[in-house]
Amino acid sequence: MSDREASPLAGYRQFLSLRGDVLVLSVAMFAFSLGFQMTTRFLPRYLEVLGASAFIIGLFGTFGNLISAVYPYPGGVVSDRIGSRYALTVFGLASTLGFGLWFIAPSFGTVTIWGLTIQPWIWVFVGLVLAQAWKSFGLGATYAIVKQSVDPDRLARGFASTETFRRSAFLLGPVVAAGLLTLHPSFELSFRYVLAVAVVFGAVATVVQHFLYNASDDTFGGSFAGVDQIRDDLRTMPSTLRPLLIGDTLVRFANGMVYVFFIIVVTDFLSVGVTTSLPVVGGIDLSPEAFFGVLLGIEMAVALLVMAPAAAMAERVGLKPVVATGFAVYAIFPILLISAPASASVLVVLFAISGLRFAGLPAHKALIVGPAEAGAGGRITGSYYLLRNVIVIPSGAIGGAIYGGLANPFGSGQLLPESPLLAFGLATAIGLVGTGYFLVFGEEFEAYQ
């Protein structure tokens, strides 16, 4: 194995060797990922500015989990009815409209209809229904493409190539957003600049994929046989996936409890911004929101640097230790963040460490799809993520209730007291249990033994 093959740039070289129609689809995925990363990580703060409580912000996380769990099935139905090309166009248009609805949400104001008060933050929920459309549909396509085109013992490296390209948008999106957020001191207004750019990205990507993507050779997106098919796939799931699924679900549930509050911790709990002067650039004054975008960029820069080398390392040490490392970083980050001092340099280090959790993603995907029988990778993958995502659905609401407290709906006082530290500490505890379970019971994929 050469250093060239294991370098961070290897993912880009492998990605650019994909055939034309797949490349077009992946470029569209990049554009939509850019739009998502410019916007979604900042939406909890947007909700807060629009008047949402901590519980509502947590409920927004749960709502996102629900959409992620239920969208793949109707997405497949639509694709079967109208074909992949037109389905992608419809989903792309829906996502673009979702970005647009987020943009105009503050314009609705607070209105009362039939005695029911509708706050402007409710439109952020409605916008998510649209904005999530393309993202939820693209997952199965990515898995199928890699499964069909990569040798079994190099699956992790194959996933590293697509992940590296797609997650470049995860690096650029928050950094672009951070720049746009400096244009006005009001977060509500400056974030609408970000949303306007996301609308443009979504519209361009929709047009490009509609006219340049040739779906005639697609082998993914086939008919879904219903709940019985899911039961059969879960019952026949390879033994290596069961402990992985349990450990992964616990780790993701833990992360889902507090994920939407990362920006709230940086902007409110710690309230850390940056004011400095750099050579050539001059003075820099970043609000806590803009600084959060920089932190996300640092996190993803580390991720892009380590994904390809970690996938190559998996060929030497196996998939299991690489996946477990990613799980461990997922688990410990919440308690590190909530316990951090209000220091910009400390947060830079913490988010750089957080980037290491992405090192295990290619190996994780290889461990999911690798043991599946030929022709069954898509079904096994879909069943795996469906079950995991359904279990994770309530995590955001539970985390929000603990983080911000939960009022008693039948009287005065609170059912749960406000405790950000407890929410983040409990998330870390659950994540460590999931990591430990996978370390003890997880099995290695034979091709990597």
Instruction: Look at residue 188 in the predicted model and tell me its pLDDT.
Output: 94
Q: Walk along the chain (449 residues) in steps of 10 and give the mean pLDDT of each run.
A: 48 49 68 89 96 95 90 65 73 93 93 84 95 70 53 59 70 92 93 96 87 60 55 71 91 96 96 81 84 95 85 80 92 97 96 90 77 54 80 96 80 77 97 96 64
Give, in order, the Cα–Cα distances in Å from 245 to each of 152, 365, 408.
Answer: 20, 12, 36
CA distance 404 to 57: 9
pLDDT, residue 447, reads 47
| pLDDT number for residue 395 | 97
Please give the Cα distance from 310 to 362 (Å, whole number). 8
- What pLDDT does 224 receive? 47
> How far apart (Å, rounded) are the C-alpha atoms in residues 179 and 229?
47
Token pair belonging to 315:
């060929």
What pLDDT is stored for residue 1 in this prediction? 45
Tokens of 104: 């105009």
Q: How far is CA 110 from CA 51, 113, 123, 223, 282, in A?
A: 10, 10, 11, 43, 42
So where are the chain's domains?
Answer: 3-214+225-448
Q: Provide the pLDDT for residue 221.
A: 43
- Cβ-based neighbour number of residue 151 at 10 Å: 9
DSSP helix/strand/coil, 342 = coil
Cβ atoms of residues 156 and 317 within 8 Å: no
Inter-helix orientation angle 377-392/72-82, to 10°:
140
Tell which phi-psi region holds residue 256, choosing left (phi > 0), alpha (psi between -120 and 50) or beta: alpha
Q: What's the confidence (pLDDT) of residue 358?
A: 84
Question: In sequence order, what DSSP letters do the residues of 58-70 get, joined into one string?
Answer: HHHHHHHHHHHHH
* DSSP helix/strand/coil, 327: helix
Residue 223 pLDDT = 44
CB 298: neighbour CB atoms within 10 A?
A: 21
The helix/strand/coil state of 410 is coil
Tens-digit pLDDT profile for residues 253-302: 999 999 999 999 999 999 999 987 767 666 788 999 999 999 999 999 99
- Distance in angstroms (rounded) separating the CA atoms of residues 34 and 213: 19
Q: Which pLDDT score is estimated for 217?
A: 54
Burial grade of 348 (CB within 10 A; 0-12, 13-18, 19 or more): middle
DSSP for 378-392, written as a single string: HHHHHHHHHHHHHHH
| Rounded to 5°, angle at Cα 340 from 337 and 342 | 120
Report the pLDDT value the prediction gives residue 383, as an integer from 0 to 100: 75
| Burial 112-142, CB ≥16 within 10 A → b, else e | eeeeeeebbbbbbbebbebbbbbbbbbbbbb
Q: What per-residue confidence (pLDDT) applies to 375?
A: 46
> Are the C-beta atoms of residues 234 and 213 closer than 8 Å to each other?
no
Q: Enter the pTM of the model.
A: 0.85
Residue 265 DSSP label = I
The CATH code of domain 3-214+225-448 reads 1.20.1250.20
- Using only the alpha carbons of the chain, give its radius of gyration: 21
Encoded amino acid at 395, one letter: S
| Measured CA distances, 132 to 64, 226, 315 (Å) | 8, 22, 34
